[in-house]
Amino acid sequence: MDMLVNLYQLPPLEQPAQARICRVLPPDASRVLEWVAETFGAGWRSECQTALAQQPPTCYIAQQEGRIVGFACYDATAKGYFGPIGVSEALRGSGIGRALLIHTLHGMKEAGYGYAVIGWCDHAQDFYRRVVGAIPIPGSDAGQTVYGRLCRFSVPDGA
C-alpha cells in the first residue's frame, strides 16, 4: 500500500541528539552507496544511486561520530515518491528515522512538491501516520503501484 503526505502540514525540522542529518553531496556518494548496499542490499543501493545522481542530490544521511547510521531518499523510483529509508538496526527507535523522514519531506517541499507519495509502506504505516499524518491511498494495493512495474527476473545459478 502507498500513502500520501501533505507537505504543507509537516512537523518542524529536528536534529536527533545522537546524530546529525545532512543532504549528501556527490563527493560522499560512493561511501553512502557502499553503506546502503552492505546494510540494506542491492535494491536500495540502486534507488539511492538514482537519488544521488539528481542535482541537487535527493538523499539525506544521518551521521554519528563520523559514521553513517541512516539514510532517506526521494525521487528515486518515481518523481514525487519518498523512500527508501533505513536506519542501522541498533539505532532503530532512537528518533533518527523520524528526523530523516522529516528532513527529506522538507526537501521535497523546498523542491516544489505539495504532496509526497510514500510507496510500498505496508510494514510502517503506523510510523508514517503518527509522524507526518500520512494517509493510505485507496487502490494502491499489491500490483497497483509504481512497484507493480518492477521487472521480476532471476539470476542463473553460477552467475
pTM for the structure as a whole: 0.91
Q: Please report the pLDDT score of residue 158 as a whole number.
A: 52
CB 73 within 8 A of CB 49: no
- Domain boundaries 3-148, corresponding CATH code: 3.40.630.30
Longest pairwise C-alpha distance within the chain: 51
Going from the C-alpha of 34 to that of each of 14, 44, 45, the distances in angstroms are: 26, 11, 8
Q: Please report the pLDDT score of residue 18 as a whole number.
A: 86
Q: Please report the pLDDT score of residue 153 as a whole number.
A: 57
Neighbours of 95 (CB within 10 A): 16
Worst-scoring range by mean pLDDT, 36-40, 128-132, 144-148? Answer: 144-148
